[in-house]
């Protein structure tokens, strides 16, 4: 999967999120400013160590502005920003398969559905915390096994 079609698909998802918010009369000035912030974060050359976090969080104001009008338009735009981020950091072109994107979108949709259904923020916060701790636990166990393997093979 090349970066060009992936970036086009990400842009289409962001524009679809914006289009879905228009029937709910979003504040166009806020969308213009947050969209310009996102475009500037992608256009400005940034140091390789700092670009991921800058580009990831540049889309947050746009997603919040869209989600304030209609929740699912913000979720769709978040999926587009995620796809652009994976393409720009060369995760999608390197793997050649959409597996990282599909996994991330499923996570975004599940958390979005939990937020929409629960109508409270404590349940999604607990879900995100449990997921983070679960991933950290899995990585810790893998690292422990790797250390144990190399510790037993050294003389």
- CA 134, distance to chain mean position in Å, is 19
Q: Rounded to an integer, what distance in angstroms lies between the CA atom of residue 98 and that of residue 10?
A: 12
Closest CA to 46 of 36, 58, 34: 58
pLDDT of residue 94: 62
Q: Rounded to an integer, what distance in angstroms lies between the CA atom of residue 77 and that of residue 16?
A: 7
E strand or H helix that includes residue 135: helix 122-153
Task: Please check whether residue 83 is in contact with residue 13, taking contact to mean a CB–CB distance below 8 angstroms.
Answer: yes
E strand or H helix that includes residue 60: helix 60-69
Q: 3-state DSSP helix/strand/coil percent for the chain, to nearest 5?
A: 85, 0, 15
Q: Rounded to an integer, what distance in angstroms lies between the CA atom of residue 40 and that of residue 31?
A: 14
Give 50's Cβ-side CA count (13 Å radius): 5
pTM passes above 0.85: no
pLDDT of residue 91: 67
**Residue-level pLDDT, tens digit, the chain, 155 residues:** 455 777 788 888 888 888 888 777 667 788 788 888 888 887 888 776 667 777 778 888 888 888 888 888 888 888 888 888 877 777 666 666 777 778 878 877 887 787 778 777 787 778 778 888 988 899 899 888 888 887 766 55
Burial 6-38 (b: 16+ CB within 10 A, else e): bbebbeebbeebbebbeeeebeeebbeebbebb
């Amino acid at each position: 999967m090349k970066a060009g079609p992936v970036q086009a698909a990400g842009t289409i998802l962001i524009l679809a999120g914006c289009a879905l918010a228009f029937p709910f009369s979003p504040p166009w000035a806020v969308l213009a400013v947050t969209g310009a912030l996102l475009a500037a974060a992608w256009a400005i050359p940034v140091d390789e160590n700092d670009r991921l976090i800058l580009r990831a969080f540049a889309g947050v104001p746009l997603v919040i502005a869209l989600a304030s009008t209609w929740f699912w338009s913000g979720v769709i735009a978040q999926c587009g920003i995620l796809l652009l981020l994976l393409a720009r950091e060369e995760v999608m072109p390197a793997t050649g398969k959409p597996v990282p994107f599909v996994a991330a979108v499923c996570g975004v949709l599940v958390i979005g559905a939990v937020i929409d259904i629960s109508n409270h923020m404590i349940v999604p916060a607990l879900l995100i915390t449990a997921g983070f701790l679960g991933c950290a636990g899995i990585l810790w166990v893998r690292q422990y096994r790797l250390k144990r393997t190399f510790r037993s093979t050294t003389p």
